[in-house]
Chain A
Amino acid sequence: MAYQQINNIRIDGIVSCVPSGIARTVDYNIISKEEQSLFIKTTGIKERRVASSDVTCSDLCYKAAFDLLEEFKCKDEIDVLIFVSQSPDYFLPATSIILQEKLKIPKTCMAFDVNLGCSGYVYGLSIVGSILQSGQFKKALLLVGDKSTISTSYTDKSAYPLFGDAGSATLLSYNENTSPWYFNLQSDGSGKDAIIIKDGHSRNPYNKDSDELIEIDKGIIRAKKHLALNGMDIFNFALREAAPNIKNLLEYSKTSIEEIDYFVFHQANKLINESLRKKLKINLDKVPYSIDLFGNTSSASIPLTICHQLQIELKSNNCKLLLSGFGVGYSWGSLICEVQSVYTKLIEND
């Protein structure tokens, strides 16, 4: 099992950035009014944010990071910059390196990309924590998010109304006066087809057929260049794997459910998250939601939920958090961490 304990890490601040453009479920006219109501009831998604065509995920992360670096006045101290996303600016070079220069972070900073989706924030924290904990590097910037709306077909009701765009920036530092963090990280490539964009990379390079719209089922028309989502498979995966992963982590870290102040789950779908909450017997007031206003924002959904729902709590209190991300891959993982006096902010891109 991929359990991990990391020491000497502190979260200084988290800023999330969403586009100002709003897409409402009630305006999605591919489905009937009745289907819209059922969709809202099941997924919880009333609206989501959609970036305009000239805005990328890295632009949203840049804006979040810029705000964070202005607040802490520490851009010259950043030793590590990691960009976790499945919507990079280019095939190459890595977007993290472009952001290093754009943010005017010194060339002494290491920068690299990580290709993960819904589990990306938890994995990103594990990677950053692993690098920082030795004390050789002092500060790190973890940039996480996706512009998923660029990949979905408007005529695919199984995917299009689910996803929103968002970027986030988390500033972490080496600090010896902190409690250990505990991770449980898992992977299962047998689920690769559950969420996949088949064409456009080296396995199936973009070709003349990649744009051809195909009717997969009633209300599901998409091309091979689009994101394809098998809702039932991903739903089953989340029900099957997320709860045991969390239970095992609680056991590994010798932590009880009652000790956790907030459980911040990846905002996949309200039905999944409510099932998870009930399985773990967690009170509703310990499980914040942001999916109603932002949809599924991939790897940004955990920091976005923190910035939207837990600003006051994280600023004033010592909070024990359990973060859990699960989805595309399949990839999933959870983290238990204590945070204190964390600067959080939610901003809009113009």
Chain B
Amino acid sequence: MTLEEFTRALELEFEEIQPGTISPETNYREIEGWSSMHALIVIAFIDNHYDIILSASDLKQTNTIKDLYLIVQQKEN
């Protein structure tokens, strides 16, 4: 999955967000209506697609969608 595909696929998980609203550079915590529930959706999404489980401390190291993508790539290798 490319960074762009990752961004679009993750966006689909947030059903209440209009498609095309977020980009790889988006700080996901600043998405309108962001809550701890969204963090669980992110973890489940990454687990389902990559079989990688991000911890709370992993998430703390990230701000943008790109950061998430990169940490997944790092754990994959």
Contacts and interface: CB of A to CB of B under 8 A. Distances in A.
A232 B39 contact: yes
Contacts of A163: none
B43 A236 contact: yes
B30 interface: no
A106 interface: no
A35 interface: yes
A39 B41 CA distance: 11
Interface of A: 34-35, 37-39, 41-42, 158, 231-233, 235-236, 239-240, 269, 271-272, 274-275, 278-279
B31 to A, nearest CB: 12
Given A38-B16, A236-B55, A275 B33 contact: no
Given A236-B53, A275-B47, A38 B35 contact: yes
B43 A278 contact: no
Interface of B: 15-16, 33, 35-41, 43-44, 47-48, 51, 53-56, 59
Contacts of A240: 53
A239 B37 contact: no
B36 A239 contact: no
A232 B40 contact: yes
27 contacts: A35-B33, A35-B37, A38-B16, A38-B33, A38-B37, A38-B38, A39-B37, A42-B37, A42-B40, A42-B41, A158-B36, A232-B36, A232-B59, A233-B56, A235-B44, A236-B43, A236-B53, A239-B47, A269-B40, A271-B40, A271-B41, A272-B44, A275-B44, A275-B47, A275-B48, A278-B48, A279-B51
Contact of B40 (A37, A235, A279): A235
A231 B51 CA distance: 20
Nearest to B59: A232
A37 B36 CA distance: 14
- Chain B interface main SS type: helix
Contacts of B51: 279
Contacts of A37: 16
A269 B43 CA distance: 14
Contacts of A38: 16, 33, 35, 37-38
Contacts of A271: 40-41, 44
A158 B35 CA distance: 11
Nearest to B47: A239
A42 B35 CA distance: 12
Q: Considering residues A37, A236, A240, which has the most beta carbons from chain B within 10 angstroms of its beta carbon?
A: A236
Given A34-B33, A231-B36, A232-B36, A239 B43 contact: yes
A34 B56 contact: no
A267 to B, nearest CB: 16
B43 to A, nearest CB: 6
Contacts of B37: 35, 38-39, 42
B45 to A, nearest CB: 9
B56 A232 contact: yes
B18 to A, nearest CB: 14
Among A34, A41, A42, A158, the most chain B Cβ lie within 10 Å of the Cβ of A42
A232 B35 contact: no
A239 B15 contact: no
Contact of B35 (A35, A233, A235, A279): A35
A233 B35 CA distance: 16
B16 A34 contact: yes
Contact of B43 (A34, A41, A235, A274): A235
A41 B40 contact: no
A158 B44 CA distance: 18
Nearest to B14: A38
A274 B41 CA distance: 11
